Amino acid sequence: MISANKINYGIYNVDNGIVRYIKEINNLGYKTVLSCSGMKRDHSKAKICPFICFERPRLSGEAILLFLRFIRDCLYNSNWDIRFISRYVIGYLPGGLDDIEIKERFRKLVSILRNMVFLRSN
């Protein structure tokens, strides 16, 4: 387990359908910088791909590699597609999921992050 600096991450402009999941993920110490529910209730006129974007913590050496593997495994085990772009780890859900399936994927991701602790806020 690696300690994260205790930082109050602000949560802004989060889709209503996933705000509780994003808050919990951030409270666990995993900083999200962007997310989108892709739910019809939040985006009734547009088809938008659900995603979550994690910022890499300020770790170095082997610790950052372990973190990247950890986030990748958590996303993979909750059925997300994973991309690594610059300082970010992004999980995408496939298009065509209904709101219930999207919420279930977010719930499963939170559950896995909660149970497989990598970072722990002080």
Structural domain range at position 109: 2-121
Domain count, the chain: 1
- Distance (Å, whole) CA 24 – CA 27: 5
Coarse DSSP helix, strand, coil percentages of the chain, rounded to the nearest 5 percent: 35, 20, 45
CATH number of the domain encompassing residue 45: 3.90.1150
- Distance (Å, whole) CA 104 – CA 34: 19
How high is the mean pLDDT of the chain? 85
CB 44 within 8 A of CB 84: no
How many residues appear in the chain? 122
Residue written as token pair 């958590």: 74
What is the structure's pLDDT at 96?
A: 85
Convert the pLDDT of each residue in 32-85 to its tens digit: 999 999 898 888 777 788 999 999 888 888 999 899 999 999 999 999 999 999
What is the structure's pLDDT at 12?
A: 63
Q: Name residues whose C-beta falls within 8 Å of residue 61's C-beta, 6 or more positions apart in sequence.
A: none
